[in-house]
Chains A and B, each alone.
Chain A
Amino acid sequence: MELVAFLETLWLARIPILKGLGVTVSISLLAILVGTILGVGVGLALTYGKGPVRWLVRGYTDFIRGTPVLVLVLASYYVLGTIGIDLGPFQAGVLALAVFCSSHVGEIVRGALESIPKGQTEAAKAIGLTFPQTFAYVLGPQALRQVLPAWVNTAAEMVKASTLLSIIGVAELLLRTQELISRTFMSLEFYLFAGFLYFVINYGIERFGKYVERKTSIPS
């Protein structure tokens, strides 16, 4: 019975797999969290920034978005070291993913803010709200709802991109799986299983996104 043999092996290997899963989840969460915080700043600068600030941030997003994530990961690990910023593989990887995430979130936020009709800002001004108030109560809440679907997408992309950290030796789920396969030769089974775990994570993210969308939907 091959299935029984696989399940027995899986049970024996549960600790490294769970560890790998934990690392994958931590990388993804950190990257999404930091990337989102940075990305909101990027989006604000792209939308409201003046002159040089806007150009600088525009350059940043275009450059990052035009670069393969793998190149960012490698650069973060190997190149930063040469200029004196010595990061471990985990930190370097998270940094690369967060930067990548921030450029995408930045574009999403900019798109959402620009899609809000000008009349919203004018109506807010007309009742005497200052710009920070207008953003907090009028523009932000509307942008948030627009951003959500695309943001969920980006979050799922980050989970997938976390596999690239296996290249620089971060023991995340994919690297753990590959190690197991090299010892057990059950490549199909373990790859399928890893694929299933990635699916579960992303499905969870998607459900969470749908839940928030439902919770915040505007009655009409």
Chain B
Amino acid sequence: MTGNLLEIRDLHKRYGEVEVLKGVDCTMQQGDVISIIGSSGSGKTTMLRCINMLEEFQGGSIRIDGEEIGYETMGGARRRKKEKEIARQRAMTGMAFQQFNLFPHMSAAENVMLGLVKVKGMARDEARGVAEKWLDRVGLAERRDRYPGQLSGGQQQRVAIARAIAMNPKLMLFDEVTSALDPELVNEVLQVIKDLARDGMSMLLVTHEMRFAFEVSNRVIFMNQGRIGEEGNPREMFIKPQTERLAEFLKTSTFN
């Protein structure tokens, strides 16, 4: 046990011949809010998706609270853990997606309840209470019985965040959660994330919102061609980038 909430060591990920992650190391403490920035194809989303095993990875290790995620090494051979074990480990993290991915055949409250009842084994009444509490927290108390098709993009994304956070994860993963939203709906989602950050939730965010990354995170990771190009606190990084690559990337990014 190192005391790190998240510990990524020498992470390698290949799609066939193409290596998209070429040895990523990263550690994270309880309560850290880390933004991962970088141009598309730099591997930032892939890295995030390895953490909850939505992507397989071929080398290196990921630990959450000291527990090795996804694979185990026995007698020198690396093996994927059993599906049931991986499902349990996935519940340690929560994830919000670019496309929201709400379950369209369930109301907002049922979306939040599903994991509570089926994974956490909560009674329906209790789960309903937890779901209502979280929907209230994201400002959607009166929409809890609406279906995803009856909600705006921003509202859907807030339900999706409530669904993830209600599971009480140790770590929240946000994968470009505002990229699919109309500009006027971005802020309501960012506000929810800011509130979570203020409450001490540990978060890892892949984002294109530079101002948001600057405001909300205590550390920024700049991904470049499958490696970490630069990392540090946002103020120093954004004002005095140490590498040519980051300087260039920041120039082409908008800070609105």
With A123-B103, A137-B118 in contact, do A128 and B87 touch (Cβ < 8 Å)? yes
Any chain A CB within 8 A of the CB of B143? no
> How many interface residues does chain B have, given as a range?
20 to 34
Note all chain A residues with C-beta closer than 8 A to B97.
Answer: 119, 122-123, 126
Note all chain A residues with C-beta closer than 8 A to B150.
Answer: 219-220
Distance of A130 Cα from B115 Cα, bound (Å): 11
Distance of A220 Cα from B115 Cα, bound (Å): 23
Distance of A141 Cα from B106 Cα, bound (Å): 10
Chain A binding surface, main DSSP class:
helix
Distance of A128 Cα from B105 Cα, bound (Å): 19
Distance of A218 Cα from B149 Cα, bound (Å): 8
Any chain A CB within 8 A of the CB of B88? yes
Q: In chain A between 32 and 88, which residues have their CB closer than 8 angstroms to a CB of chain B?
A: none
Q: In chain B between 57 and 91, which residues have their CB closer than 8 angstroms to a CB of chain A?
A: 83-84, 87-88, 90-91
Q: What is the interface size of chain A, counting residues whose CB is below 8 A from a CB of the partner?
A: 22
Any chain A CB within 8 A of the CB of B147? yes
Any chain B CB within 8 A of the CB of A125? yes
User: Out of A124, A127, A129, A141, which one reaches B164, CB within 8 Å?
Assistant: A127
Task: Contact check, B163 vs A127: say whether CB atoms are below 8 A apart.
Answer: yes
Any chain B CB within 8 A of the CB of A26? no
B100 to chain A, nearest CB (A): 8
Any chain B CB within 8 A of the CB of A133? yes
Distance of A64 Cα from B90 Cα, bound (Å): 42
Any chain A CB within 8 A of the CB of B99? yes
Any chain B CB within 8 A of the CB of A199? no
Any chain B CB within 8 A of the CB of A131? yes
Note all chain B residues with C-beta closer than 8 A to A218.
Answer: 104-105, 147, 149
User: Out of B84, B99, B164, which one reaches A130, CB within 8 Å?
Assistant: B84
Closest to B145 in A: A219
Task: Contact check, B91 vs A127: say whether CB atoms are below 8 A apart.
Answer: yes
Closest to B119 in A: A128
Note all chain B residues with C-beta closer than 8 A to A131.
Answer: 83
B185 to chain A, nearest CB (A): 18
Note all chain B residues with C-beta closer than 8 A to A127.
Answer: 90-91, 94, 114-115, 119, 163-164, 167
Note all chain A residues with C-beta closer than 8 A to B94.
Answer: 126-127
With A120-B103, A122-B54 in contact, do A220 and B149 touch (Cβ < 8 Å)? yes
With A130-B84, A133-B118, A137-B114 in contact, do A123 and B101 touch (Cβ < 8 Å)? yes
Note all chain A residues with C-beta closer than 8 A to B83.
Answer: 130-131
Task: Contact check, B88 vs A128: say whether CB atoms are below 8 A apart.
Answer: yes
**Per-position 1/0 for A104-134, Cβ under 8 A of B:** 0000000000000101101111111111010
| Given pairs A124-B103, A126-B54, A138-B114, 11 additional interface contacts (CB within 8 A) | A117-B99, A123-B97, A126-B95, A127-B91, A127-B94, A127-B115, A127-B163, A129-B87, A219-B147, A219-B149, A219-B150
Task: List A residues at the B interface (Cβ < 8 Å).
Answer: 117, 119-120, 122-131, 133, 137-138, 141-142, 145, 218-220
Task: List B residues at the A interface (Cβ < 8 Å).
Answer: 52-54, 83-84, 87-88, 90-91, 93-95, 97, 99, 101-105, 114-115, 118-119, 146-147, 149-150, 160, 163-164, 167
A–B pairs, 17, beta carbons within 8 Å:
A117-B101, A119-B99, A122-B54, A123-B102, A123-B103, A126-B52, A126-B95, A128-B88, A128-B115, A128-B167, A133-B119, A142-B103, A142-B104, A145-B105, A218-B105, A219-B146, A220-B147
